[in-house]
Amino acid sequence: MAVLLFPLGLLLLVVGAEALVRGASRLASAVGISPLVIGLTVVAYGTSAPELVVSVTAGLAGQTDIALGNVVGSNIFNVLFILGLSALIAPLVVSQQLVRLDVPLMIAVSLLTFLISLDGRIDRVEGILCVAGIIIYTLFLIRHSRKAGQGVGNHQEASGNQPRTSATVLYIVGGLGLLVLGASWLVESAVTIAQLLGVSELIIGLTIVAAGTSLPEVATSIVATIRGERDIAVGNIVGSNIFNILMVLGLSGVIAPDGIHVSPAALHFDIPIMIAVAVACLPIFFTGQVIARWEGVVFLGYYIAYTLYLVLAAAEHAALAIFSAAMAWFVIPLTVLTLLLVTLRALRSSRQETIP
């Protein structure tokens, strides 16, 4: 049964992603909101449904380590793996709004997670403030987009070619449903197959299950990239990360009986990694406002390194010390130096263009 569920889950992901991207594009045209804002809200929040269900359920059950780990792990996976893979397929054009507003906000809420976790717990009041934050952010995005007239809804309405609302809603709701079901089947079958092959539950939890709730984002961003809807592809990731922290983690903190417990390991390693990944987006997005293929390769490489570190640390492998030293003294400094050089070159080019 597991062998059958795997290809079926994969098929549902592809079909669901295609329907969601098509519906989101139609919604942008129908209501006069830019595809970027649709990606940051409707698509991002919808594809984060698995994270919301998993974390809220875990919070109700008192399994707050799962609730926190799901959000932090998903955010790291979203940027390093999904954006990296999407950029590898086709260079992603980044809008000015992302650079000026949404990515800085993603960095800010990542830092907020660290600050409210310093006492070892995310309580109910902090959770309520986070949920209020996502509501304010969403209303601001929609109002700003409509006010700026970024969409094409008015033109289509005048020409009589406005997409039917019922069909648009069907595409979006049906696509989201297929994504959630497909992700569930794919994770369930992958875990079963891995157990049959003798892979330890630890490795399964660190890899298959951790990435499983982000499968809708994977499928949606890749399909959006292939279809040329790159605003949706990038907005989906940034919006999902903001939603995961403010809504998923916030709501989990509200409903958990004693709030969300934050372990020292998460506070000193995983949350700082999430912050570093968010900060890394800004120079990469800024340089020419394009995520190039080589930058996608860098992101993917770092996700592989992060996963390998988790596996080596959990297994207490002898190679952990060598691997950590190589990353700390060679790979990370080289990456930072490369990003600085590319950023400085982009700044020099932009100044030369402004000189008459």
Does residue 324 belong to any structural domain of this protein?
A: no
pLDDT at position 157: 45
Question: Could you read off the pLDDT of 75-129 as tens digits, one per residue?
Answer: 999 999 999 999 999 888 788 888 888 999 999 999 999 999 999 899 999 999 9
Does residue 332 belong to any structural domain of this protein?
A: no
Provide the residue range defining the domain that includes 194: 2-317
Q: State which amino acid sits at residue 160.
A: G
What pTM value is reported for the model? 0.80
Does residue 203 belong to any structural domain of this protein?
A: yes
Tokens of 63: 């399994």
Tokens of 172: 């979006």
- Gap between the terminal Cα atoms of the chain: 68
Question: Could you read off the pLDDT of 282-319 as tens digits, one per residue?
Answer: 877 776 677 888 888 989 999 998 888 888 877 778 88
Pick from 46, 33, 334: which is nearest to 176 by CA? 46
What average pLDDT is seen over the chain?
Answer: 79
Does residue 344 belong to any structural domain of this protein?
A: no
The answer to whether the beta carbons of residues 138 and 18 sit under 8 Å apart is no
Does residue 26 belong to any structural domain of this protein?
A: yes
Does residue 342 belong to any structural domain of this protein?
A: no
Q: What is the CATH number of the domain that holds 244?
A: 1.20.1420.30
How many domains would you assign to the chain?
1
